[in-house]
Amino acid sequence: MITPLTPIEFKRRARKLYPQKTAIIDGSSTWTYQEFDERTWRLSNALKGLELTSGDHIAVMLPNTHEMIECFYGIGQMGAVMVPLNIRLAEEEVFYILEHSDSKAIIVDSEYGAMIERLVPRLTKVRTFIQVESGFSSPLAAHNYEKLLESASAMTFTVELDENQAITINYTSGTTSKPKGVILTHRNNYINAADFLYHLRVVHEDMYLHTLPLFHANGWGGVWAITAVGGTHLCLRKIDPVQTLKLFVDQRVTLACGAPTVLNMLINTPGADQVKMMAHPRMATAGSPPPAAVIDKVQKLFNMDVIHVYGLTEVSPFITYCEWRADFASLSLEDQAKIKARQGVEMVFNGETKVVRKDATDVEWNGREIGEIVTRGNVVMEGYYKQPEQTAEAIRNGWFYTGDLAVVYPDGYIEIVDRSKDVIISGGENVSSVEVEGVLYEHPAILEVGVVAVPDEKWGEVPKAYIVLKEGKELDMNDLREWCRARMSHFKVPKIFEVVDMLPRTATGKLQKFRLREQNWKGSNKFVN
């Protein structure tokens, strides 16, 4: 008998085998797997009572709280599709996603209730509003999340699930001004969770700290994988380096995930050199290539095992990891860190990943020839929601083209050296340079603009804007920064503005961004940090 591959099955197993094991810790509150399972079914029944059903899209705008974890299962097990919203997005971006995703309902934390309330008169698809009361004042007229659960049944019900149907639509910034909705299926998430379980060595005793936002590609699959073995989810509403380090020690955290900027934040926290980890934690890092120096310091300072993984939202998101081999142990710690900074080799379950030339043939494994990373297999997205042309551009001849340029070393290890797309990955957040340019072009004093990534010690890389002013115009950079902050998410605002006389262009007028990048990455053999 063939049963569909779905990560929802992981909760059924955990409830059956570990009913009294602590499933979730959120502040001073805890829930066992039995209690967690019952709450997810109360949520499913409450949503049904609000006339939501299988196939409906339900947006969720929550930080890393127990309610967010409940939503993944409560929505998925009824056959509906969860649309996780980045809590850092600007109001107009949230509006676009809610409309484009065809979401019929939204579950929102009261911290963001005022934003959603302002959007209500313009929303044409969302008809049901549910609010999690988290201590923040909100004017939004909405159903109370906890009261809905209290009044709903915990009875289970059966929905026929197809492993190839969507379970989430995850919006990611691309090279265009509008985010794209990545359709991830039950099968995609199940296989990615298998890679998470195997390569991050997840076990029943793990205490997993949610330092990674759960809206980022479903917490990279951690929301599923930890549940699968009956591990414990430790919620973290907001990253505070002092509190995070305290949790590592007090709760004996054994596993966490985060962008390199999180690692950098932890090692630069006052008093970090006095922290004594009670466990030997594992930390998976991805989102932007981690500097070897940061990996080296994290391992020395916290006795932490850093595992470098790589992928994109479009591939659920894992496709490679930096596999550690016994012969690496004889290398110096500095050389070990350099190897760990590589994207590594393809994972066991996801499929095939390689680096190819423009004619689709494999590059030489010499650490010098540059090609594009492509992949195929069980984790590649169904496509971009309502964007068939962009889907066809990304998936060609059975392969997903990542847009990341890399070399392959003689041992098969991949290392990214540049990006063919114009996405800037700052602190794990995707920033479209084209989008930022579009906003800056609206300024009355700006004639031309080019935005590129430049290295940054804290965030890995940040946007820098090269600006050509209109004749006779002057511009105060502080005023320009505030002007930008009013029009886009703060993490997208260029950290540096530089006024230049002209921008480098080809004979046909195309902006040569590589020449702008070269000015800021001198002395490095990569154009990513």
Q: What is the pLDDT of residues 438-447, one digit of tens each?
A: 889 889 999 8
Give the percent of the chain with pLDDT over 70.
95
What pLDDT is recorded for position 522? 73
Collapsed DSSP state (helix, strand, coil) of residue 294:
helix
Instruction: Detail the DSSP E strand segments found in 128-223.
Output: 128-132, 143-144, 166-172, 180-185, 207-209
* Arithmetic mean of pLDDT, 104-120: 98
Classify 344 as helix, strand or coil: strand
pLDDT of residue 527: 63
* Look-up of token digits 């296989």: 191
Is the preceding peptide bond at 317 cis, omega within 30 degrees of 0? yes
Residue 21 has pLDDT above 50, yes or no: yes
Q: Give the lowest-confidence range in 279-288, 341-350, 390-399, 512-521.
A: 512-521
Query: Helix, strand, or coil here: 61?
Result: strand
Residue 413 falls within a domain, yes or no? no
Length of the chain: 529
Name the pLDDT band for 141 (thresholds 50, 70, 90): very high
Convert the pLDDT of each residue in 298-341 to its tens digit. 888 999 999 999 999 999 999 999 999 999 989 987 788 889 88
Q: What is the DSSP string of 276-288?
A: --SS--EEEE-SS
| pLDDT surpasses 90 at 208 | yes
Give the per-residue pLDDT at 244.
95
Nearest to 528 by CA among 446, 421, 436, 448: 421
Residue 190 lies in a domain: no
Say how far apart CA 208 and CA 224 lie, in whole Å. Answer: 12
- Of residues 388 and 270, which shows the higher confidence score? 388
Of 28, 103, 21, 89, the closest CA to residue 60 belongs to: 103
Is residue 458, in this structure, part of any structural domain at all? Answer: yes
Question: What is the rounded radius of gyration, in angstroms, for the C-alpha atoms of the chain?
Answer: 23
Q: Which of 203, 230, 257 is the last residue of a domain?
A: 230
Confirm whether 214 is domain-assigned. no
Kindly report the CATH number assigned to the domain that includes residue 461. 3.30.300.30
Domain count, the chain: 2
Residue 528 lies in a domain: no
| Termini Cα distance of the chain | 49
Query: What CATH number is given to the structural domain containing 106?
Result: 3.40.50.12780
The residue assigned the tokens 């339900």 is 58
Two tokens, residue 461: 């890389």
pLDDT above 90: residue 57: yes
286 in a domain, yes or no? Answer: no
Interacting residues of 472 by C-beta distance below 8 A, sequence separation 6+ = none
Work out the mean pLDDT of the chain and round it to a whole number.
Answer: 92
pLDDT at 241 over 60: yes
Tell me if residue 223 falls in helix, strand or coil: helix
**255-282 pLDDT, tens digit each:** 999 988 788 889 888 899 888 887 889 9
Residue 23 reports pLDDT greater than 80: yes
Residue 528: predicted pLDDT: 62
pLDDT of 176 higher than 60: no
Q: Please state the pTM of the whole predicted model.
A: 0.85
What is the pLDDT, as a whole number, of residue 90?
Answer: 87
DSSP state of 361: P
Q: Is residue 297 part of a domain?
A: no
How far is it, in rounded angstroms, from Cα 12 to Cα 34? 10
Instruction: Flag whether 399 is in a domain.
Output: no
Domain that holds residue 440: 423-518
